[in-house]
Structures are given as structure tokens and as C-alpha cells.
Amino acid sequence: IDRILAELSADAAAHRRDIQWDHDALVQLDLIFARGELSYKMDAIRPQVRRDGLIRLRKARHPLLDKKTAVPIDIELGDAFDTLVITGPNTGGKTVSLKTLGLLTLMTQCGLHIPAGDRSEVSVYERVLADIGDEQSIEQSLSTFSAHMKTIVEILQEADRDSLILFDELGAGTDPVEGAALAIAIIQHVRALGARAAATTHYAELKTFAMTTPGVENASCEFNVETLSPTYRLLIGIPGKSNAFAISRRLGLPDEVITNAQAQMSKDSVRFEDVLTQLEAKRQALEKREQETDRLYRQREEDARKAREFREQMQRAKENARSRGEAEAKRILRDARSASDAVFAELERMRKEQAKADRAINANEARAELRRQLNEAEDAIDKRDARSEPIPKPSRPIQKGDLVEIPGVSTPAEVVGVGSDGTLQLKAGILKMKAKADEVRLIEDDERAAMKKKAPKPTRTAVTGLRTAASRELDIRGMETLEAESVVETFLSTAVMGHLETVTIIHGKGTGALRNAVHDILRRNKNVKSFRLGVYGEGENGVTVVTMK
């Protein structure tokens, strides 16, 4: 066994440096993972590290308190003031606040995350010196005051400008007058050394000292007088009351004893406590008013949000109603265009059968006249609700053979029949329609004679101009589907009248909805021979090339 162990030890000794390095690496990794696990459990953050002595903790919690029940506090030190005097009742949280300040500073300097809120800042100190707790000792014959003073002497011997000093119940355990004077002197000495300090006390003299000395600030642990219980909130800039009488009364001390104790207080102390009481009452009133203001502000923001949502809903409803109206109008136009397409097909057949150029020109002129009438009908639909003047009543009943004018259409229509219910059967060119007598205006005989004299004769230039105006390319990018449908159909009709063989529609790539709508229109149109997507150099999927019949 000894031989085997010796051989194994010799083999291991040859790798002792590698083993030592691996051991050190594992220790470092274990420490890193332990820090991470602790940070996760405390819901901690990485504070901003400073070197100028400034400490600004936001929503800080003592690391040993349950994060679900602990009351977060805000602590500042080293900016506008270098010394903080914390006052308030017993069990109010003064010592916990002091320990929180020291522990979070040390945790930061150890490379640990701290249980605080975002944007917290902590400075690095050479020494964190503390006198916290009762160190009285029977064995060493030390009283409470002596134990505190022994620790304070050691602190003053080590303190310098790179130190953070924490005093708990500074000057306690001796005569109040002498203890208060000694506490003030110790604070002044610490400040002269350039150190940052925080101290808890019950002495009213220290409260006055903090109120009248630049660089020294009061702080207090809030106490709810109505419930006679602490809230554990730390208030910077406000001195606190010990509330000894209120706490004693709640614990059952007779009222006559409390009254006698109040009579023993000096008038200056009573006035100072009264001033603190008034300040605390005003602070609580202002805080309640601020909370009410915040509540009203949040309510106003919520009302404004609801109003915006209601306005948006009304706008959407309006848009939907308008879209439905436009869709109905487009359907009517589509039906009319279907009828006109049939007429176009017949005219095209006649044009092919005709051998002479004059008859082809006449067919084109008829087609142009039909398109003009369709456009007038479309304008009449769009302006059907925009009539500003009432239709005048006819001087006589409208009869067959009369000419009438449809509001919004410049071409007069001829009455070809009158129904038994008064419905008029009208004919405008090759279009036939029906209308009520109160929806048209009778063209009187004298006006009819004047129209015959002024009526111009059709010429070939209309067809030539139409062919010239026909475009080979249409850009509908950014249009809605309903709007694009009407524009594409008009473009195709113009291309037919212009005798264009190939045209291009630019609809863009996008989601493909506009491209699919264009392809549906092309499939329905009888004048389209074929269509395809563009190739490289033409626009690819963003354009459609159409071949006309």
C-alpha cells in the first residue's frame, strides 16, 4: 500500500502546478456562481461605483430582510451634506437604516450586487467604521456608555477623509446634556477629518445642530401617530420625534404619569416638539395632496386614453360606412361597364367587318361618345348627394318625346316612354335608364330650339386626341383596393379606345394584396388577352404587363 501510494503521489507531483491552477480556477468560478445566485435571490442590481465619497441609494433594502415585506428606503450622503443625523422613535428603523447604508457599501466594495433600485451609486472607502450595538461587559467592567466610548476612541484614531463612519445612539448612556454636547463635538471632529458620517440619536440638541449647521442634514424614520406604529420610511431633511409619550400611552402607562412627565419638560423642549409636530402634520398633508394630485393626473390620462380610443372607433366606423358606400357605387359602375363592354365588343366586330377607313373612324367616334356618357354617369353617381339647388318643376307634364336633363350629366336624355306610375324611360345615346319625374328637369321648347342651334358636330379630332392621350403605363402604388379597381378599369378602357396592344400596371410588391386585386380585374375584363408579371429590368413582381385583344 505504501509503495502504491508513493507511486501515485509521485505521478501527481509531476502535475502539481496544473492541479493548483485548476483548483484556483474552480474556486474563482465557484465564487462567481455564488455571487450570481445571491444576486438573483436578493433581486439585486449592479450599482454605479464612484470615488468621490457620494452615496445615493434608491429603494434600498437590508440584505437580511425579506424582499417581499421590507420597506425600501432612499439614502443620500456626500453630495449636499457630508453628515446625516437620523432621529425618530424606538423600533422605527433608525438602526436598520444605518446598517443598510454600511452593509451595501461593503457589499459593493466586495464586488457583490446590492438589493437596491436602478441608478443607485456607491463610493469606495478605505475604511468603513461603525459603532452599532450595546457592547457593555461585566468582565471588563464596562458600562453601556463606556463600551460605546471605547469603540468611538478607536474609530477616531483610524478615521480620515477616505472613511465612512456610522454611529448608533451617539452619546447615549450618560447625562443627556453632557451626552448631547459630546455627540456634537464628536461629529464636528469627524467632519474636520473630512470623513462622511451618519448617526442615530434621540437628542433634540442634535436635531437643532443639524438644522443650523451647513453640511449636516436631518433625517427621520416616519411614525404614524394615528396608528401609533412606524412605517419604516426614511425621510431626508425632516427631523423626527421620539413619540415616547404616545408609545408609552399605547403600552398602558397611566395618563396621570404621562401628564406629570410632560409637565417636567422645559418650555423650549415643548416648543421644539410642537414645531416638529406641526411640521410633520404639514408634511403628511402635503404628501396626501401630492398623492391625490397624482391620482387625478392618472385618472385624467386614463380619461384621455379612453377618449382617444372612442374617437378612433368612431373614425373607423365612419371609414367603414364610406367604404361600403364607395363599394356600392363601384358595383353600379361595374354593371354599367359590363354593359358597355358588350357594346364595345359589337362595335369592334363591326369595325373589323368594315373595309373602309371612314366607317372605322365613325365606330371610334361612337366609342368616344359612349365613354364620355359613361364618365358623365359616373360623375352623376359621385355627385348624387351634392345637389345644391332644387330641381324646378316642369311647366307641363313630361310626355314621350320630350328632352330632360339629369342633374350632374351634361347630355340631355330623350323620354321614350312614361310608365303608369309616372316613371320615365330615358335614352341618352345608346344608354337606357329609368328615372322619376321629380329627379329630372324638363327642357322647355325654346331652350330645346336653342340647343339645336349650338350643338357642335363631331369631328375626327376627338378620336385622334383620345388615342394620343392613351398612356401605356399606370402607377397605382399606395392606393386602396377599391380606389385602384376604378382607376385600372378606366385605364383599360382608355387603352382599348387608343388601340394599344401592350400596357404596364405598376402596383408594387408589398404584401401582394394590390397585385392580386389587379389580377382579378384583368381576369374579368373581356378586352384583356393575357397578362404576366414583369421580368428582370421591367420591375419583376412589382409590375404586371397586359396584352390587349
In CATH, what number is assigned to the domain containing residue 162?
3.40.50.300
Q: What is the pLDDT of residue 115?
A: 95
Looking at the fold, whether 34 and 53 belong to one and the same domain comes out as: no
Q: What is the pLDDT of residue 379?
A: 62
**Contact yes or no for 438/392 (Cβ under 8 A):** no
Grid cell, residue 172, equals 447615549
From first CA to last CA, the distance across the chain in angstroms is 105
Q: What is the pLDDT of residue 456?
A: 52
Q: Which of 257-271, 440-454, 486-500 has the highest mean pLDDT?
A: 486-500
Residue 96: inside a domain = yes
Residue 51: inside a domain = yes
pLDDT, tens digit, 9 for 90 and up, residues 416-434: 888 878 788 887 765 677 7
Residues near 374 by beta carbon (within 8 Å), at least 6 away in sequence: 336, 337, 340, 431
* Confidence bin at 276 (pLDDT 50/70/90): low
228/206 Cα distance (integer angstroms): 24
Residue 422: inside a domain = no
Residues near 405 by beta carbon (within 8 Å), at least 6 away in sequence: 412, 413, 440, 441, 443
Of all helices (H) and strands (E), which one includes residue 18? helix 16-42
Residue 16: inside a domain = yes
CA 97 → CA 132, 139, 163, distances in Å?
12, 31, 18
The pair phi, psi for residue 525, each rounded to 5°, is -75, 125
Q: What is the pLDDT of residue 370?
A: 66
CA 341 → CA 115, 263, 370, 432, distances in Å?
79, 111, 11, 15
Q: What is the pLDDT of residue 273?
A: 58
Q: What is the pLDDT of residue 37?
A: 94
Looking at the fold, whether 117 and 28 belong to one and the same domain comes out as: no
Whether the pLDDT of residue 101 is over 80: the answer is yes
Helix locations, 90-139, DSSP H? 94-109
* Confidence bin at 471 (pLDDT 50/70/90): confident
Residue 66: inside a domain = yes
Whether the pLDDT of residue 2 is over 90: the answer is yes
Residue 339: inside a domain = no
Alpha-carbon 135 to chain mean position: 56
Of all helices (H) and strands (E), which one includes residue 505? strand 502-506
Looking at the fold, whether 147 and 12 belong to one and the same domain comes out as: no
Over residues 468-475, the mean pLDDT reads 73
Would you say the pTM of this structure is higher than 0.75? no
CATH number of the CATH domain containing 537 = 3.30.1370.110
- Give the 3-state secondary structure of 384-453: CCCCCCCCCCCCCCCCCCCEEECCCCCCCEEEEEECCCCCEEEEECCEEEEECHHHCEECCHHHHHHHHH
Q: Comparing 272 with 396, which gets the higher pLDDT?
A: 396
Q: Which among 500, 547, 549 has a CA at the least distance from the CA of 527? A: 549
3-class SS at 204? helix
Looking at the fold, whether 49 and 85 belong to one and the same domain comes out as: yes
* Confidence bin at 252 (pLDDT 50/70/90): confident
Q: Which of 98-102, 233-237, 297-301, 343-347 has the highest mean pLDDT?
A: 98-102
Q: What is the pLDDT of residue 147?
A: 80
Looking at the fold, whether 82 and 8 belong to one and the same domain comes out as: no
Whether the pLDDT of residue 228 is over 80: the answer is no
Residues near 431 by beta carbon (within 8 Å), at least 6 away in sequence: 370, 373, 374, 377
Looking at the fold, whether 118 and 150 belong to one and the same domain comes out as: yes
Over residues 425-454, the mean pLDDT reads 74
Looking at the fold, whether 158 and 24 belong to one and the same domain comes out as: no
Q: What is the pLDDT of residue 137?
A: 46
Strand 473-475 relative to strand 73-77, pairing: unpaired
Q: What is the pLDDT of residue 308?
A: 86
Looking at the fold, whether 19 and 93 belong to one and the same domain comes out as: no
63/434 Cα distance (integer angstroms): 89
Whether the pLDDT of residue 390 is over 60: the answer is yes
Q: What is the pLDDT of residue 141?
A: 42
Looking at the fold, whether 32 and 49 belong to one and the same domain comes out as: no
Looking at the fold, whether 15 and 90 belong to one and the same domain comes out as: no
Q: What is the pLDDT of residue 467?
A: 45
Residue 117: inside a domain = yes
Over residues 43-50, the mean pLDDT reads 93
Over residues 189-201, the mean pLDDT reads 92
Q: Count how many domains the chain has.
A: 3
CA 113 → CA 28, 222, 256, distances in Å?
17, 28, 52
In terms of residue numbers, what domain contains 483? 470-549
Looking at the fold, whether 47 and 30 belong to one and the same domain comes out as: no
Q: Comparing 239 with 120, which gets the higher pLDDT?
A: 120
Q: What is the pLDDT of residue 460?
A: 42
- Backbone CA torsion sign across 183, 186, 188, 194: negative
Over residues 398-410, the mean pLDDT reads 75
pLDDT, tens digit, 9 for 90 and up, residues 127-158: 999 998 755 444 444 567 788 888 899 999 99
Domain boundary among 264, 292, 327: 264
Residue 486: inside a domain = yes
Over residues 374-400, the mean pLDDT reads 65
Q: Which of 111-115, 251-255, 310-314, 484-488 has the highest mean pLDDT?
A: 111-115
Over residues 467-473, the mean pLDDT reads 65
Looking at the fold, whether 154 and 243 belong to one and the same domain comes out as: yes
Domain boundary among 203, 231, 264: 264
